[in-house]
Structure 1
Amino acid sequence: MTKRYSFVNPLGGTDYEWSADHTYVKVSAHDSDGHFTLMEDNLRSTFALGLHRHDHHAETFYILEGALDFHVDGDWVTAGPGSCLHIPPGVPHACVVNDASVTARMLMIFQPAGFDLYLAELGEMSAEELDDPVRMEELARKYDIINLGDVPGRS
């Protein structure tokens, strides 16, 4: 009989290790019938995600450890442990680890699901494909990631 639930142990789930973070998919698009994806992201001190938006999905971030600086719709917000930030579709955002000498850890919900599918495609790409800006932009747009530039400066 097929189980009607999923269970993931600590440090479990499909994982993707990148240069600045290590992500674990806790609830996949498959698990939620496409409604959402839940991920745990372990961020190194060098983590920085440039300005972007999603036209069709929302993101929610719950900070477990460390602190992140989010640039959201023109504002800078510092989110420490226990902070929750919800970003609806269409709102430009970027984030960086708050203190370059520490790491951070957060849970992320993407609604509807799909970001895990983006990571899966990235994980299958060759180094040459990952270095191809046209290919990377096509993949980003396929998964509703509209890149808008680098992390904005602080005024």
Structure 2
Amino acid sequence: MSKRYSYVPAGGGTNYEWSADHTFVKVSSADTGGHYTLMEDNLEANFKLGLHLHCYHAETFYILEGSVDFYIDGDWMTAALGTCLHVPPGVEHACIISEGCDAARMLMIYQPSGFDQYLEELVKFSDADFENNAKVAALNKKYDIVNVGPVPAR
């Protein structure tokens, strides 16, 4: 009989390491029947995520360590330890690790699920794939990621 729950120990979960962050999938799309994905994102000092939005997905961020500056719907704010931010569908947002912060860690809920599947496909991209604008655009469209531009100036 298969288990009707999932257990992910500290430091566990499918993980994706990038140049500026290391992400662990704690609750996958498969675990929730597509309802949401829960991930732990460990950010390095050079982390930044450009301005984007999701037409159908919401994102919720909960800061576990450090601080992250978020640009949401035209407003800049610093999210320190214990801060929770919810970004509904259609709202432009970007984030960057706070100045003077060497690292940060946050939980991210992506609802409905899919961001874990996006990372699963993205990690398979070659350098040539990343240079293929049509291929990148198709993947972003598949996972409801609408890139708007770079991190806005303060």
Superposition TM-score, scaled by structure 2 size: 0.97
Contact 1:21 1:42 in 2 (8 A): yes
Contact 1:67 1:79 in 2 (8 A): yes
- The Cα of 1:101 is off from its aligned counterpart by 4.7
SS of 1:31's equivalent in the other structure is: helix
Tell me how large the CA RMSD over aligned residues is. 0.9
Query: Quick one: distance in 2 between partners of 1:57 and 1:132?
Result: 25
Give structure 2 stretches of 5+ with no counterpart: none
Give structure 1 stretches of 5+ with no counterpart: none
- The Cα of 1:123 is off from its aligned counterpart by 1.1
Q: Could you report, residue by residue, the CA deviation over 1:38-73 in whole angstroms, capped at 9, with x for unpaired residues?
A: 000000100000000000010000000110000000
- Alignment-derived partner of residue 125 in structure 2: 125
- Alignment-derived partner of residue 38 in structure 1: 38
- Alignment-derived partner of residue 63 in structure 1: 63
Q: How does 1:12-31 map to 2 (within 5 A)?
A: 12-31=12-31
Query: Quick one: distance in 2 between partners of 1:130 and 1:16?
Result: 17
**2:94 is aligned with what amino acid?**
A
- Alignment-derived partner of residue 116 in structure 2: 116
**1:49 is aligned with what amino acid?**
L
- The Cα of 1:145 is off from its aligned counterpart by 0.3
SS of 2:63's equivalent in the other structure is: strand
**1:31 is aligned with what amino acid?**
D
Identical pairs, percent? 60
Query: Quick one: distance in 2 between partners of 1:43 and 1:104?
Result: 5
- The Cα of 1:131 is off from its aligned counterpart by 2.8
Structure 1 residues 125 and 100, CA, compared in 2 at 3 Å: closer, same or farther?
A: farther
- The Cα of 1:137 is off from its aligned counterpart by 1.8
**1:146 is aligned with what amino acid?**
V
Query: Quick one: distance in 2 between partners of 1:7 and 1:100?
Result: 35
**1:2 is aligned with what amino acid?**
S
- The Cα of 1:127 is off from its aligned counterpart by 2.0
Q: Could you report, residue by residue, the CA deviation over 1:19-51 in whole angstroms, capped at 9, with x for unpaired residues?
A: 110000000000000000000000010000000
In the TM superposition, structure 1's runs of 4+ consecutive aligned residues that sit over 3 Å from their partners are: none
- The Cα of 1:100 is off from its aligned counterpart by 4.9
Contact 2:67 2:101 in 1 (8 A): no
Query: Quick one: distance in 1 between partners of 2:100 and 2:147?
Result: 24
- Alignment-derived partner of residue 106 in structure 1: 106
Query: Quick one: distance in 1 between partners of 2:107 and 2:80?
Result: 12
